[in-house]
Amino acid sequence: MKILVIGPSWVGDMMMSQSLYRTLKQRFPDATIDVMAPAWCRPLLARMPEVNAALAMPLGHGALGLGERRRLGKALRPTGYDRAYVLPGSFKSALVPFFAAVPQRIGWRGEMRYGLLNDLRVLDKAAFPLMVERYVALAWDAADIHSARDLPQPLPWPRLQVSDDEIRDVAAAFALAGDRPAIGFCPGAEFGPAKRWPHYHYAALAQRLIAAGHQVLLFGSANDAATGDEIVAALPATLRAHCRNLAGKTQLEQAVVLLAFCEAVVSNDSGLMHIAAALDKPLVALYGPSSPDFTPPLSARARVIRLISGYHKIRRGEATEGYHQSLIDIQPERVMAELSDLLTPPRQEHV
């Protein structure tokens, strides 16, 4: 069986989509799964053993590009895909499988996709509260799965593969010290500072960790570099050598490997948080106005800290720096305690 997946355009969503690929390979071990997604997704898809090939979607997020999608679809016809799964809910995302004449085109009902998808599912959000459940449900016949309770448990969570040789080589390329275990910080987030734990809290936590013998690595995009600089600048001068701001200095491929290098990770609600979870790193995930009820970190080694409940607007914070009060209220001591607990080996019982 040949399967085409139209993948998501966000890091976190792409990570959660791996649960669908893992489920499909469990159901159809001989299936070949190709995923069409933005080119930046390739480093993630390359680390998912279930994925045969990453097909680049050249159109930017939000671009209709009807002619280009028709061209892409027709170019795929000789591949002979048997079925396609369309994960985004937009009209345009269903066009390529339609133009590719894939016989079975599966997805949740979205923006007027009647005809484009011929196995169109009607989503009951209460029945499938988690995004990962919605993805995995598409792997099964609609008649068999009416709610998340019908899905075989446990769900196969995302798991990225990184080799020890890669970790050694990339850590050496960035001249990372091997004498101090690394703790990764992911202090950035979409929509600005309202979803971010304050930089001064990150600095206070970094100071405690460095004093305890760790080094701290800061990850993120170029947009997060200034936040990383603020964290480093807030440290006593004698400790700054043990805190490296890598935001904007790594490719996504390198960031994945260096997160695997870390002993544990502290992160805001972000795509890097989902990558850390997929690497099965001990993880403390910090939530404010965004909610973990829909897209939590999928790892048994993750701890979520959130002091409020429900949905809140996330584009503005109350503090001068734009931070949300619920994130300001999460104290570094609380995060340090969760980290320490995660890193403490379980006690061996003597018989």
CATH number at residue 259: 3.40.50.2000
Q: Last residue of a domain, which of 123, 149, 175?
A: 149
In a domain, 330, yes or no: yes
Report the pLDDT value the prediction gives residue 347, as an integer from 0 to 100: 63
In a domain, 292, yes or no: yes
Tell whether 176 and 98 lie within a shared domain. Answer: no
Report the pLDDT value the prediction gives residue 303, as an integer from 0 to 100: 98
Mean pLDDT by groups of 10 residues along the chain of 351 residues: 96 97 98 96 96 92 86 97 96 96 95 89 95 98 96 97 97 93 94 90 98 97 96 97 97 98 97 98 95 94 94 65 92 98 74 48
Tell whether 182 and 145 lie within a shared domain. Answer: no
In a domain, 154, yes or no: no
Is residue 287 within 8 A of residue 304, CB to CB? The reply is yes
Tell whether 205 and 179 lie within a shared domain. Answer: yes
Give pTM, 2 decimals.
Answer: 0.94
Tell whether 333 and 275 lie within a shared domain. Answer: yes
Tell whether 208 and 130 lie within a shared domain. Answer: no
Tell whether 36 and 168 lie within a shared domain. Answer: no
d(CA 237, CA 251): 28
Tell whether 179 and 317 lie within a shared domain. Answer: yes
Tell whether 16 and 120 lie within a shared domain. Answer: yes
In a domain, 21, yes or no: yes
In a domain, 303, yes or no: yes
In a domain, 351, yes or no: no
Q: Of the candidates 291, 290, 260, which has an alpha carbon nearest to the alpha carbon of residue 275?
A: 260
In a domain, 63, yes or no: yes
Tell whether 203 and 94 lie within a shared domain. Answer: no
d(CA 206, CA 48): 32
Q: Last residue of a domain, which of 94, 126, 149?
A: 149
Tell me the residue range of the domain where 315 lies. 164-343
Tell whether 217 and 137 lie within a shared domain. Answer: no
Tell whether 238 and 329 lie within a shared domain. Answer: yes
d(CA 19, CA 159): 9
Report the pLDDT value the prediction gives residue 28, as an integer from 0 to 100: 98
How many domains does one find in the chain? 2
Pair of tokens at residue 78: 């000789």
Tell whether 121 and 198 lie within a shared domain. Answer: no
Q: Of the candidates 110, 112, 105, 66, which has an alpha carbon nearest to the alpha carbon of residue 88?
A: 110
In a domain, 350, yes or no: no
